[in-house]
Structure 1
Amino acid sequence: MKHSTIDARGRSCPEPVLMTKKALLKSPEGLEVLVDNTTAKENISRFAGNSGYKVEVAQKGSDYILILTK
């Protein structure tokens, strides 16, 4: 299944987490999030895990791709 994608690269926390939270309201089945720093990766992973999502993280160059699924 193809998930919605949000691009939070270039943004500093807490903005990527807030963008993820808002996007999950529209796509509660899952989401793909692009970030470019470890702080955002860790904060989104923690938020998603606490919200009941499974988080898969892949690194592509200096970017991280987080795949959140229920």
Structure 2
Amino acid sequence: MKKVDARGLSCPEPVILTKKALESKEAVYEILVDNVTAKENVSRFAQHQGYTAEAEEQGEDFLIRLKK
């Protein structure tokens, strides 16, 4: 499992970090973001890459789990 902490970053940076992480070909990824726009953009990008994206709120942050 690969983890990416993209809190404090504005788009498109969380998507760029996610794209770089997906190059490692892991089965599961966890992406941590701190705003709704980043959550939606990362989820949409991952789905276009063939991943399922499940987001859950964790306090003020969002944890997005990506699976192939």
> SS of 2:42's equivalent?
helix
> SS of 2:31's equivalent?
strand
Q: What is the TM-score with the length of structure 2 in the denominator?
A: 0.95
Please give the residue correspondences for 1:1-70 in structure 2 after superposition, counting only pairs within 5 Å.
Answer: 3-70=1-68
The number of equivalent residue pairs is 68
Structure 2, gaps ≥5 residues long:
none
Aligned-pair identity (%): 53
The Cα of 1:4 is off from its aligned counterpart by 1.2
Q: What is the TM-score with the length of structure 1 in the denominator?
A: 0.92
Runs of 4+ in 1 over 4 A off after TM superposition: none
> SS of 1:17's equivalent?
helix
Structure 1, gaps ≥5 residues long:
none
Computed over aligned residues only, the root mean square deviation of the Cα atoms, in angstroms, reads 0.9
